[in-house]
């Protein structure tokens, strides 16, 4: 019996190196990466099993990048969230975010909240963008919420107070050849299957995703058992 795949998470890595190898500015890599987000989201919305697609879009550490690049990433995010409403409606995609949105611009936050409102009744796929997100930060904020609610600190309460209500990840993919988690969904990845590909995110195709899913289906998931 093959493994069910309900929650797919992806670290979208390699935009900058993709651009550099082509003699382009890094922002061109980010632009190309947006097109890949569209392709992969459309595929996941049409997949018979996938219910949640979580994409690592901007980490808490990404603020260390040059201001011009950060500003352009914020512009791309705002444009993506706004323009994808047509795809969300066509494919029944619900838009969600995880992470601390407070440092983002008011314009970007308003666009995010409006898109969430517009898509909240969609139930084919939840596309979750991790924005200003860090796994350790999420756990700290979850524990703080548990304490503020006067609840006992245990696994169930911490899980319930996390940013995402979408449950544990089944398969996590990282592109670009790097083989680390980079502070992504540390709690939710506890028993996830991991896959790493040397392909840069702008070149990541539906066909390669299908191949990685097929490999995942053949794995034996033990969840700490025998």
What does the pLDDT look like over 118-141, one tens digit per residue?
A: 999 999 999 999 999 999 999 999
| Residue-range domains of the chain with CATH | 7-134+170-217 (3.40.1180.10)
Q: Among residues 3, 62, 157, 183, which one is catalytic?
A: 62
* Residue 11: closest CA among 124, 141, 176: 176
* Residue 130: closest CA among 28, 61, 220, 212: 61
Environment class of 207 (CB within 10 Å of its CB; exposed 0-12, middle 13-18, buried 19+): exposed
pLDDT at residue 224 in the model? 62
pLDDT band at 220 (very low <50, low <70, confident <90, very high): confident
* Residue 52: closest CA among 124, 132, 131, 120: 124
Q: Among residues 13, 15, 132, 170, which one is catalytic?
A: 13
Give me the percent of the chain exceeding a pLDDT of 70. 97
Would you call 62 a catalytic residue per the annotation? yes
- Global pTM reads 0.94
What does the pLDDT look like over 156-202, one tens digit per residue?
A: 999 999 987 778 999 999 999 999 999 999 999 999 999 999 999 99
Sign of the dihedral defined by the CA atoms of residues 79, 32, 27, 101, in that order: positive
Mean pLDDT estimate for the chain:
94
Up-side HSE of residue 37: CA atoms within 13 Å toward CB? 26
CB 162 within 8 A of CB 134: no
First-to-final CA distance of the chain: 16
* Residue 3: closest CA among 218, 222, 224: 218
Would you call 13 a catalytic residue per the annotation? yes
Tell me the DSSP string of 71-114: HHHHHHHHHHHHHTHHHHHHHTEEEEEES--TTS-HHHHHHHHH
Q: With DSSP H G I counted as helix, E B as strand and the rest as coil, what are the percentages for the chain, rounded to 5?
A: 45, 15, 40
* Residue 182: closest CA among 5, 30, 10: 10
Sign of the dihedral defined by the CA atoms of residues 120, 55, 114, 85, in that order: negative
């Amino acid at each position: 019996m093959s493994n069910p795949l309900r929650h797919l998470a992806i670290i979208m890595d390699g935009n900058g190196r993709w651009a550099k190898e082509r003699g382009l500015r890094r922002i061109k890599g980010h632009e190309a990466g947006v097109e890949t987000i569209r392709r992969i989201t459309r595929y996941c919305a049409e997949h018979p099993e996938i219910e949640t697609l979580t994409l690592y879009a901007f980490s808490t550490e990404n603020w260390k990048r040059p201001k011009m690049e950060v500003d352009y990433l914020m512009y791309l995010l705002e444009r993506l969230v706004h323009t994808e409403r047509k795809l969300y409606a066509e494919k029944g995609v619900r838009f969600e975010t995880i992470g601390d949105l407070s440092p983002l611009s008011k314009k970007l936050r308003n666009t995010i909240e409006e898109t969430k409102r517009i898509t909240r009744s969609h139930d084919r796929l939840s596309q979750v963008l991790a924005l200003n997100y860090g796994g350790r930060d999420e756990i700290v904020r979850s524990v703080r919420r548990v304490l503020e609610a006067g609840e006992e600190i245990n696994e169930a309460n911490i899980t319930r107070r996390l940013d995402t209500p979408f449950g544990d990840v089944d398969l996590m993919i990282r592109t670009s050849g790097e083989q680390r988690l980079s502070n992504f969904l540390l709690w939710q990845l506890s028993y996830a299957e991991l896959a790493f590909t040397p392909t840069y995110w702008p070149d990541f195709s539906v066909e390669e995703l299908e191949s990685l899913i097929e490999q995942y289906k053949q794995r034996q998931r033990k969840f700490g058992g025998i």
